[in-house]
Amino acid sequence: MSNPSGAPAATPIPTLYEWVGGLDTLTRLTKHFYSIVPNDPLIGPVFAAMPPNHFEHVAMFLAEVLGGPPRYSSEIASERGGHAHMISHHLGRKLTEQQRSRWVQLLLASADVVGVPDDPEFRSAFVAYLEWGSRLAVINSAPGVPEPAPAPMPKWGWGVPGGPYRPPADGSP
């Protein structure tokens, strides 16, 4: 297809959500991850009390962050705001760097098992979000961290110019 100048029309760049395969792929990813976590001695105890449908909530959260529909914010966390709601689940949990690193490792191993795209561009963006988000979880799990203020859901992309996600100026994550 050409535009009026005769040059080929640019193909729209898909979101990370579209590239990964949408909510179906993210649900398979989180379902697999939460099926292996209970057997892990380092992070199994962290997830011991999760409700059976927890993997669906995490899939919706990831979908929204990666550019999909705002179902997590509107259906799961509508009363507190999507991102603040997720952060509040980590308050007081005293997560360690070792637990954070293991979480990332197991999630990426699960991504391989369920067939999440493994091209370098996607994996680079995906890993960048997992690293950023899991480090934020550790920071917010420290003793004395206050309840988070409502904040917009981070939107993760391909790493194009514009810099990394920056939290609101008021200091809330």
Q: What is the pLDDT of residues 23-77, one digit of tens each?
A: 999 999 999 999 999 999 999 998 888 888 889 988 998 999 999 998 887 776 5
Q: Rounded to an integer, what distance in angstroms lies between the CA atom of residue 113 and that of residue 20?
A: 14
DSSP characters over the chain: -B-TTSSBPPPPPPPHHHHHTHHHHHHHHHHHHHHHGGG-TTTTGGGTT--TTHHHHHHHHHHHHTTS--HIIIIISTTT-HHHHHHHTTTT----HHHHHHHHHHHHHHHHHHT----HHHHHHHHHHHHHHHHHHHHHTSTTPPPPPP-PPP---S--SS-S----TTS--
Has domain 16-140 been given CATH number 1.10.490.10? yes
Q: What is the pLDDT of residues 100-136, one digit of tens each?
A: 899 999 999 999 999 999 999 999 999 999 998 888 8
Structural domain spans, the chain = 16-140
Q: 34 Cβ partners below 8 Å, 6+ apart?
A: 47, 50, 54, 55, 58
pTM: 0.80
